[in-house]
């Protein structure tokens, strides 16, 4: 199984249930694993046979830095849906959305959700 990985993408967005999250915003990190057959582009060296990760980054950025969602589950779902519908060669993807600084008391590294979605056949 071949993959294109985009890791630790960093954005600033306004997602969350609390009013201050929607007003002040916070950092979000995103990891994406795109499952795509890379045999042909490995031979042809032609971008048309692969997925342009710069374009994928921009699509993810539009969602994370765009209209607010209440839940990071919804952010992850929107990213997966956008990637799957935007790239014909993409077979499936795993999307992880990380909130490094959620407004909850305690000591922790971060909170995150991770989803896996496949293209409908």
- Could you tell me the CATH number of the domain that includes residue 64? 3.30.1130.10
Confidence (pLDDT) at 121: 67
Q: Is the pLDDT of residue 102 over 90?
A: no
Average confidence (pLDDT) over 92-119:
94
Q: Is the pLDDT of residue 92 over 80?
A: yes
Average confidence (pLDDT) over 66-95:
98
Where in the sequence is the domain holding 45, given as residue range(s)?
A: 3-118
Q: Is the dihedral of CA 76, 72, 78, 8 positive or negative?
A: negative
Residues 80, 76: Cα–Cα separation, whole Å: 6
- Could you list the active site residues? 99
Confidence (pLDDT) at 103: 86
Residues 117, 100: Cα–Cα separation, whole Å: 24
Q: What's the total number of domains in the chain?
A: 1
Confidence (pLDDT) at 120: 82
Three-state secondary structure call for residue 75: helix
Question: pTM here?
Answer: 0.95
């Amino acid at each position: 199984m071949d993959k294109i990985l985009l890791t630790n993408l960093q954005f600033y967005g306004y997602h969350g249930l609390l009013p201050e999250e929607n007003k002040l915003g916070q950092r979000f990190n995103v990891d994406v694993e795109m499952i795509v057959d890379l045999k042909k582009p490995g031979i042809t060296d032609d971008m048309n046979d692969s997925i342009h990760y710069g374009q994928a980054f921009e699509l993810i950025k539009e969602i994370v830095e765009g209209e607010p969602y209440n839940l990071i589950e919804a952010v992850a779902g929107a990213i997966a849906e956008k990637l799957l519908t935007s790239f014909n060669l993409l077979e499936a993807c795993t999307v992880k959305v990380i909130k490094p600084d959620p407004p909850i008391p305690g000591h922790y590294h971060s909170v995150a959700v991770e989803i896996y979605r496949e293209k409908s056949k």
